[in-house]
């Protein structure tokens, strides 16, 4: 889904949101690593999945510096701002269709444990994390939440839906929730359907005991494709980071990278 070399467009969009680069004081000293080099390393680690300590020295930034800034920029909301900007640009290009949303989840192994981990019910109860993903009609990632692997899907659906982003870019008030929501049988819960209807969302959730042939897969396949795009970024396949700050940062950066690739393809 993405090349290990950071595209210039990524830096061009992120640079105005980044804090001013520090300059040496009156007594001199070494100039801090520039934001461009840091972003190159963050992109490289996300795409290749390499460990921070294995970042090549010729990239101009050590892995520890990149990790520190990844977390610092997550704390001040820069990654969320970048994701929101890309969603806005996609809407301006008519590549975002928010009337319909689809939700699904995937699980990854969490080596070493850490925040948002739990015994995986699909991996012999080894520690893992579940990523719950909400996409638009065409598979553009809108929300990604990381929770312990043993958390039930139907307990996560409402928190993800209420995180639906209000995306500007067109005349009129931004939409605050989709008209329709599609999900598989893992989200089957009548209480959830009632809450969704109360929010003005028409639920299309397959019943666990229902007969096969619901045809919901004709709509839902795009979320499976987006999950494959997300996991094509190798840092997202297996979890090594332990802190919730790093986990949240990676999920948002991954969503932004997928949005960027969709945007670049649309305008090319």
pLDDT category, 187, cuts 50, 70, 90?
A: very high
Q: Can you tell me the mean pLDDT for 14-25?
A: 86
Token digits for 260?
A: 């960027």
The predicted structure's pLDDT at residue 94: 94
CA distances in angstroms from 206 to 37, 134, 190, listed in the order given: 47, 17, 11
pLDDT category, 153, cuts 50, 70, 90?
A: confident
Measure the CA–CA gap between 226 and 263, rounded to whole angstroms: 14
- The C-alpha torsion from 118 through 146 and 198 to 139, rounded to 10°, is -130
Residue at token pair 């699909």: 122
Q: What is the pTM of this model?
A: 0.93
The predicted structure's pLDDT at residue 213: 58
Q: How far apart are the first and last CA of the chain?
A: 16
- Angle at which helix 153-161 crosses helix 190-198, to 10 degrees, equals 10
Mean pLDDT computed over every residue of the chain? 91
Measure the CA–CA gap between 57 and 63, rounded to whole angstroms: 9
Measure the CA–CA gap between 237 and 228, rounded to whole angstroms: 10
Measure the CA–CA gap between 93 and 97, rounded to whole angstroms: 11
Element (H or E) spanning 33, and its range? none
- Give the architecture (CATH level 2) of 97-267: 2-Layer Sandwich (3.30)
Measure the CA–CA gap between 260 and 82, rounded to whole angstroms: 10
pLDDT category, 74, cuts 50, 70, 90?
A: very high
Q: Can you tell me the mean pLDDT for 23-29?
A: 68
3-state secondary structure (DSSP) of residue 174: coil
Is residue 1 scored above 70 in pLDDT?
no
Token digits for 139?
A: 């598979």
Cβ contact 241:247 at 8 Å: yes
DSSP-derived pairing of the beta strands 100-110 and 238-239: parallel
Measure the CA–CA gap between 192 and 195, rounded to whole angstroms: 5
Q: Can you tell me the mean pLDDT for 78-104?
A: 96
Is residue 28 scored above 80 in pLDDT?
no
Where are the domains positioned within the chain?
8-75, 97-267
Is residue 130 scored above 60 in pLDDT?
yes
Q: Can you tell me the mean pLDDT for 51-76?
A: 94
């Amino acid at each position: 889904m993405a090349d290990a070399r950071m595209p210039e467009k990524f830096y061009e969009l992120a640079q105005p949101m980044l804090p001013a680069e520090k300059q040496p004081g009156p007594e001199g000293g070494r100039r801090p690593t520039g934001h461009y080099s840091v972003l190159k390393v963050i992109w490289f680690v996300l795409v290749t999945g390499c460990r921070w300590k294995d970042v090549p020295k010729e990239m101009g930034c050590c892995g520890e510096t990149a990790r520190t800034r990844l977390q610092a920029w997550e704390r001040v909301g820069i990654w969320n701002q970048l994701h929101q900007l890309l969603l806005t640009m996609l809407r301006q290009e008519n590549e975002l269709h928010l009337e319909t949303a689809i939700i699904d989840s995937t699980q990854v192994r969490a080596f070493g444990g850490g925040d948002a981990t739990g015994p995986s019910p699909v991996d012999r109860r080894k520690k893992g994390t579940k990523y719950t993903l909400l996409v638009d009609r065409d598979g553009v990632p809108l929300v990604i939440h990381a929770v312990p692997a043993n958390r039930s899907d139907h307990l996560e659906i409402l928190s993800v839906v209420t995180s639906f982003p209000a995306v500007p870019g067109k005349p009129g008030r931004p939409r605050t929730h989709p008209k329709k929501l599609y999900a598989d049988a893992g989200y089957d819960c009548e209480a959830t359907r009632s809450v969704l209807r109360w929010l003005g969302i028409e639920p299309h959730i397959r019943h666990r005991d229902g007969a096969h042939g619901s045809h919901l897969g004709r709509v839902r396949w795009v979320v499976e494709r987006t999950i494959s795009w997300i996991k094509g970024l190798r840092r997202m396949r297996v979890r090594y980071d332990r802190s919730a700050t790093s986990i949240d940062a990676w999920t948002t950066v991954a969503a932004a990278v997928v949005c960027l690739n969709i945007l670049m393809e649309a305008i090319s």
